[in-house]
Amino acid sequence: MNRLGSATSPYLLQHATNPVDWWEWGEEAMAEARRRDVPILISIGYASCHWCHVMAHESFEDPETAALINAHFVAIKVDREERPDIDSVYMVATQAMTGQGGWPMTCFLTPAGEPFHCGTYYPPAPRPGMPSFRQLITVIARAWREDGERVRESAAKIAGSLAGSANAMLPPAALDATALAAAVAALARDFDPVHGGFGGAPKFPPAMTCEFLLRHHERTGSTDALRMVELTCERMARGGIYDQLAGGFARYSVDARWVVPHFEKMLYDNAQLLRVYAHLARRASSESTAGLAKRVAEETAEFLLRDLRTDQGGFASALDADTNGVEGLTYAWTRDQLRAELGDADGEWAAQLLSVTETGTFEHDSSTLRLLADPQPADAPRWARVRATLLAARNRRPQPARDDKVVTAWNGLTITALAEAGAALGRSTWIDAAVGAAELLLRRHLVDGRLRRSSRGDVVGDAAGVLEDYGCLAEGLLTLHQATGSGHWLDAAAGLLDVALTHFADSANPGAYFDTADDAEALLHRPRNITDGATPSGASTLAGALLSASVLADPAHAGNYGQGALAAVSAAGTLASKHASFAGHWLAVAEAATHGPLQVAVVGPTGDTRRRALYTSAQQAAPGGAVVLAGEPDAPGVPLLAGRPLVDGQPAAYVCRAYVCERPVTTVDELAAALTTK
């Protein structure tokens, strides 16, 4: 009996008709393993994962393989996005045993949950250096049956070792101006000066690193930092990793030139990249680069609103890498296909413009679409027509599946991006969308004062929120507080921060946090990971939210939040100093702290054109990580505006750095001068 039919996870539902007797994670499955005295096979993946689909088709849908699994194991299927805590625990084990990790993750456990063999993808037939999956499960079943005591003893030792390493802490270190400059130098050594990005293939969009470098440029004037961001963002935006027809970025490029993507589109990537491109649009060294950045920000925001927004107002997790089991089926084009849709003249012109070759840049003579240079201004109407025609044709093709679960943390990142970019670029509809997502999360995901990890179709899941859920959503709510001036969002954010400080802090290590709450389900060990990966770590998101709250909250709480932010940054200082590419968000938070933290409060009557001009100027000039808020003096629920009156009856802007305020200014020129780095 497969038990996944009532799951809220699209990934688990993908396996609900497998012949494998899947269980969801929980005590019931563990008890069954103890009752039968068999090991546990745990398979961890996510709905848009290409190789997860491959292994499912090859092995989990095969009746003979399923019969072997059902006879010798209790099989548990886990969505890593719904249960990042379980994923983290067994990823540590997989990396320790194999030296690498990834998904699908395949682990064999004792009935107590202790791992004794871990790996990732296994093929249906043997390959050099890799057994088939059926060979593997046969050998493991025999070992358990014939030498189970030794297997248990080995698993217990492994579990003890993993728990010890999980509790190990790096020594704290200051992330001051010197350390931040050293991090920029380290990134420069790994920078690809031709194609942008860092390192070689596969190449991932370095959103957090770019945000750090932009903030460093704003504080120091570093042209090297800005150059790395500009080249990276331009090459990505012109490459196949970016959807030239519909906007939005794929997960990564399989090559170093951003030509061929791994086609899944993740919410968290696009939210973070929207923020970076909107930021670059205000800081680029040329009008052309600024224009490109603004266009990409607009198209990425529209992709989020059009393709990932759910009926309930949240944002879906991802679009699949595959369409009908084939990567790129929706997105790749041949020259003949372009001619068929556009006619010979426009088809050939589009092929040249979009780098679609006769032999192809992808598979089966097809190409990804790249816009290596913008069309000439006179050709802009032609490009608009061609783009619309190709997108309409593409929409008639089979489409990738959408993982429509709403993850708290990733929606928090999206709220931040839409609210911040909407305020900076004057897009009120983006702010409205951020408000809708925030309302959904507070209405459905906040249960009895505690966050849940995800929902689907307005039904909230059972999995408890982890630290990144609290940090990302709190930061999003604080950004909404600034964009709307409503005290409601500040109050909600403060409530989340207080829960995080109470239930996730490591009492033995000031500034350190666990990823699960002190009253969460007990796992093999309590997970903790401060590394910024595809998304910011839970601890770094909390640090960023605490820093913002320290200049937005009322004085009774602000000091505690500020101390918490600085302690967290210090606790991660060694990681950030030695491994800058794995600490992008930490470095961005440290830049904001070093630059102030900076706050700009604009006061004036609602609708006053002078207040609007001051606010717009602040949005353009204030560095990333600064707090900018406008409203009427002493507006209720808005501590930043308290005690800041009009000046001679005129709207005014109050600029403060490091909790020390300058005299208020009343003109745009004075405000620009006040925001210039000193």
Q: Give burial (CB, 10 Å; 0-12/13-18/19+) of 364.
A: exposed
CA 280-284-289 angle, 5° bins: 95
CA distance 279 to 630: 20
Please check the confidence at residue 678 and state whether its pLDDT lies above 90: no
CA distance 665 to 654: 7
Q: Give burial (CB, 10 Å; 0-12/13-18/19+) of 9.
A: buried
Omega of the bond leading into 104 within 30 degrees of 0 (cis): yes
pLDDT of residue 468: 98
209 contacts 588 by C-beta, under 8 angstroms: no
The letter for the amino acid at 387 is R
Query: Which element (helix H / strand E) includes 493?
Result: helix 487-503
Q: Cite the DSSP H helix spans in 77-132.
A: 84-98
For residue 2, what pLDDT band results from cuts at 50, 70 and 90?
A: confident
| The CATH number of the domain covering residues in 180-185+197-320+403-594 | 1.50.10.10
φ/ψ region of 129 (left if φ > 0, alpha if ψ in -120 to 50, else beta) reads left
pLDDT of residue 48: 87
Please check the confidence at residue 167 and state whether its pLDDT lies above 80: no
> Considering the chain, what is the average pLDDT of its residues?
95
Please check the confidence at residue 556 and state whether its pLDDT lies above 90: no
Q: Give burial (CB, 10 Å; 0-12/13-18/19+) of 7.
A: buried
User: Which fold would CATH assign to domain 598-674?
Assistant: Glutaredoxin (3.40.30)
SS3 string, 245-305, reads CCCCECCEECCCCCCCEECCEEHHHHHHHHHHHHHHHCCCCCHHHHHHHHHHHHHHHHHHH
CA 605-607-613 angle, 5° bins: 90
pLDDT of residue 90: 95
pLDDT tens per residue, range 280-311: 999 999 999 999 999 999 999 999 999 999 99
> DSSP assignment of 532-597, as one string?
--SS--HHHHHHHHHHHHHTTS-HHHHHHHHHHHHHHHHHTHHHHHH-GGG-HHHHHHHHHHHT--
CA distance 214 to 344: 44
Tokens for 53, please give them: 């689909």
Omega of the bond leading into 202 within 30 degrees of 0 (cis): yes
Q: Give burial (CB, 10 Å; 0-12/13-18/19+) of 470.
A: buried
CA distance 260 to 257: 8
- Look at strands 252-253 and 261-262 and give their pairing: antiparallel
Q: Domain coordinates of the chain in residue numbers?
A: 10-166, 180-185+197-320+403-594, 331-397, 598-674
Query: Which element (helix H / strand E) includes 678?
Result: none
Tokens for 548, please give them: 């913002």
CA distance 601 to 641: 6
Give the residue among 216, 210, 212 at the shortest CA–CA distance from 228: 210
Give the residue among 662, 595, 656 at the shortest CA–CA distance from 629: 656
- Look at strands 40-45 and 74-79 and give their pairing: parallel
Rounded mean pLDDT, 628-644? 95
Q: Which residues have C-beta within 8 Å of that of residue 133, sequence separation ≥ 6?
A: 55, 58, 59, 65, 106, 122, 123, 124
Give the residue among 664, 627, 630, 637 at the shortest CA–CA distance from 649: 664
For residue 161, what pLDDT band results from cuts at 50, 70 and 90?
A: confident
pLDDT tens per residue, range 445-489: 999 999 999 999 989 999 999 999 999 999 999 999 999 999 999
CA distance 367 to 15: 32
**Count of residues in the chain:** 678
| The CATH number of the domain covering residues in 10-166 | 3.40.30.10
CA distance 553 to 556: 8
Please check the confidence at residue 371 and state whether its pLDDT lies above 80: yes
Same fold, 10-166 and 598-674: yes
Rounded mean pLDDT, 629-638? 95
CA distance 401 to 403: 7
Q: Give burial (CB, 10 Å; 0-12/13-18/19+) of 37.
A: exposed
pLDDT tens per residue, range 243-255: 999 999 999 999 9
Query: Which element (helix H / strand E) includes 76?
Result: strand 74-79
Query: Which element (helix H / strand E) includes 6?
Result: none
Per the model's pLDDT, the better-predicted residue between 37 and 155 turns out to be 37
Q: Which 8-state DSSP code applies to residue 647?
A: B
User: SS3 for 369?
Assistant: coil
pLDDT of residue 677: 59
pLDDT of residue 129: 84
CA distance 158 to 140: 17
Per the model's pLDDT, the better-predicted residue between 112 and 169 turns out to be 112
What is the percentage of the chain residues whose pLDDT exceeds 90? 91
Please check the confidence at residue 168 and state whether its pLDDT lies above 80: no
Q: Which residues pair with 655 in a beta bridge?
A: 600
Residue ranges of E strands in 606-677: 627-631, 652-657, 660-661
419 contacts 429 by C-beta, under 8 angstroms: no
Q: Give burial (CB, 10 Å; 0-12/13-18/19+) of 64.
A: exposed
Rounded mean pLDDT, 266-287? 98
